[in-house]
Amino acid sequence: MGDPRRRVPRTDVLLTHPRLAEAERVLGRALVKSVIAQAQQRARAGEIEPEQVAEHAVAALPPTAASLRPVVNATGVVVHTNLGRAPLSRAALDAVVTAGRATDVEFDLATGRRARRGRGALVALARAVPAAGGVHVVNNNAAALLLTALTLAPGKEIVLSRGELVEIGDGFRIPELLESAGSRLREVGTTNRTSLRDYADALGPETGFVLKIHPSNFQVTGFTSAVEVAELAKLEVPLVVDIGSGLLAPHPVLPDEPDAATVLRDGADLVTASGDKLLGGPQAGLLFGDAGLIERLRRHPAARALRVDKLTLAALEATVAGPPPPVAQALTGDVAGLRARARRLAERLPEARAVDCVAAVGGGGAPGVELPSAGVSLPEAYAAALRTGTPPVVGRLEGGRCVLDLRTVAPEEDELLVTAVLACSS
């Protein structure tokens, strides 16, 4: 009897298989060949029959050439950093598809000359924050702070409160970022209390600017005091305020969260913020403020290294100028409506019951703010099965149960949720 490994089909033969040939057109030759090689190896190892190589290769093909998978966020964390932070609106997604082709991102079709890069996004941001004399966009809020330090305080001091020496995710520390720009930090006050006099006493010829950082991912309570923006604006040095989460205007659900419009009206010279948190857009660093300062930032040599691409600019413009994005919808979701959805879903699912629960803002924004919500509670064993299913559904464990919080699940995803749960129960 001959060696069965001799019957394993050759790669060139398998590439003529209709499904694999179509996959090569969509996914690329290299990816399809790697999937074929894995199936061939399984056949040589005796795990599958040689005649089954094409079938197993087709079954192993990924849906797209990218490894990222769409996930249903049922955690109840509106801006979930590990799940990509803000999900984009349909308008923003459509804008990204358009921007993926050749576009007029830096070209004036009327004159045939070079134009201001991303002017549509800049105009949309300027309209949303009319108190800003100028607007600039970089690739994230850390980049916005870095560019500010490089421009306003190279070799100089940045004055900030000890209570605002913030560390964010993955061990990333704002003070270390600022020092990497060649600036020196001048810490004032104490961890829990800082006064206007603390700032004033620290100012001198070496001061580049005063920095106020909103501690958006933690709270200090008890015997505390901090200096408001309007008071700091009286100091005769540039005032930079990092508001963090990216609200452009006051929000009724988050009254204590700072916003760009209010901070500028209170006297800040420059405001930095994130685009992919409470704004609900793509990852970006937003800079609003004095027109002269913004122009200095824009013309700094490092600005080129920190700029955003056309996909980000397109998504950002559509987020600001278009309909409310998913983050905004989740923040203002009606609890009664969430409860009604939970009851309808629970009736269709085995071992499920509708429950009240509490969602969170997430993304380092509005710590301590609780968002009343509703969801579906399932036995704990469902958590892993849902997370590894298709599509993956990520919930949270609470009281020995797997809770699917509907505040972060769009209504159009309800049927996906039902399908995923039923697949786990079969």
The pLDDT tens digits of the residues spanning 101-150 come to 999 999 999 999 999 999 999 999 999 999 999 999 999 999 999 999 99
User: Shortest CA distance to 245 belongs to which of 284, 207, 188, 211?
Assistant: 284
Q: Is the pLDDT of residue 35 over 90?
A: yes
pLDDT digits (tens, 9 = 90+) for 158-217: 999 998 888 776 677 888 888 999 999 999 988 888 999 999 999 999 999 999 998 766
133 or 69: which leads in pLDDT: 133
**265 shares its domain with 411:** no
State the residue for tokens 């459509």: 94
Has residue 275 been placed in a domain? Answer: yes
Position of tokens 């699917």?
Answer: 404
pLDDT of 48 above 80: yes
Q: Is residue 117 part of a domain?
A: yes
Confidence (pLDDT) at 65 = 81
pLDDT at 113: 95
What is the pLDDT, as a whole number, of residue 2?
Answer: 63
Are residues 147 and 115 both part of a single domain? Answer: yes
- Please determine, for residue 60, whether its predicted confidence score (pLDDT) is greater than 60: yes
- CA-closest candidate to residue 335, choices 353, 354, 319: 354
Using the CB atoms, write b or e for 91-109: b if 16+ within 10 Å: bbeebbeebeeeeebeeee
Q: In this model, does residue 1 exceed pLDDT 60? A: no
Q: State which of 324, 341, 361 marks the end of a domain.
A: 324
| Averaged pLDDT, 87-114 | 95
Say if strands 184-188 and 157-161 run parallel, antiparallel, or are unpaired. Answer: parallel
Regarding whether 287 and 203 lie in a shared domain, the answer is yes
pLDDT by residue (tens digit) across 327-336? 999 999 999 9
**Residue 65 placed within a domain:** no
Q: Mean pLDDT over all residues of the chain? A: 92
For 191-226, b/e burial (b = at least 16 CB within 10 A) is eeebbeebbbebbeeebbbbbbbbbbbeeeeeeeeb
- pTM for the whole structure: 0.88
Contact indicator for 277, 398 with CB cutoff of 8 Å: no
Span 13-21, average pLDDT: 92
Residue 209, in any domain of the structure? yes
Query: Is the domain of 236 the same as that of 199?
Result: yes
Lowest model confidence (mean pLDDT) among 71-85, 178-192, 227-241, 262-276: 178-192
| Structure tokens, 257 | 């969260």
Instruction: Identify the bridge partners of residue 188 per DSSP, sorted by sequence position.
Output: 161
Q: Are 217 and 79 in contact (CB under 8 A)?
A: no
Among 2, 8, 1, 14, residue whose Cα is nearest residue 49: 8
Asked which of 299, 324, 349 is the last residue of a domain, the reply is 324
Q: Is residue 306 part of a domain?
A: yes
Q: Are residues 341 and 354 in the same domain?
A: yes
Q: What is the CATH number of the domain that holds 182?
A: 3.40.640.10
176 and 109 inside one domain: yes
* Judgement on whether residues 213 and 156 belong to the same structural domain of the protein: yes
Higher pLDDT, 192 or 279: 279
| Residue 390 CA: distances (Å) to CA of 51, 416, 418 | 27, 9, 12
202 part of a folded domain: yes
- Return phi, psi of residue 119, to 5°: -60, -30
d(CA 11, CA 401): 48
Higher pLDDT: 394 or 369? It is: 394
CB 88 within 8 A of CB 323: no
Q: Are residues 115 and 222 in the same domain?
A: yes
Confidence label for 319 from pLDDT (cuts 50, 70 and 90): very high
Task: Check whether residue 172 and residue 144 sit in a common domain.
Answer: yes
> Burial of 177 by CB count in 10 Å (0-12 exposed, 13-18 middle, 19+ buried)?
middle
Task: Verify that 282 and 344 share a domain, yes or no.
Answer: no
Where a domain ends, among 276, 303, 324? Answer: 324
Count of structural domains, the chain:
3
Query: Per the domain annotation, does 66 fall within a domain?
Result: no
For residues 369 and 300, the model is more confident at: 300
Residues 418, 348 contacting (CB under 8 angstroms): yes
Q: How confident is the model at residue 272 (pLDDT cuts 50, 70, 90)?
A: very high
Q: What sign does the dihedral 414-420-422-424 (CA atoms) show?
A: negative
Rounded distance, CA 153 to CA 206, Å? 9
Is pLDDT at 221 greater than 80 in this prediction?
A: no
Residue 224 confidence (pLDDT) above 80: no
Domain match, 28 and 133 both: no
The strands making up 396-398's β-sheet, listed across from edge to edge, are 77-79, 353-362, 365-379, 401-405, 396-398
Domain CATH number, residue 389: 3.90.1150.180
> What is the enclosing helix (H) or strand (E) of 354?
strand 353-362
Residue 226: predicted pLDDT: 87
Percent of the chain with pLDDT over 90: 80
**Segment 18-29 mean pLDDT:** 91
Note whether residue 365 is domain-resident: yes
Structural domain span for residue 204: 90-324
State pLDDT tens for residues 393-417: 999 999 999 999 999 999 999 999 9
Q: Are residues 198 and 118 in the same domain?
A: yes
Number of Cβ within a 10 Å radius of residue 322? 17
- 75-99 mean pLDDT: 96
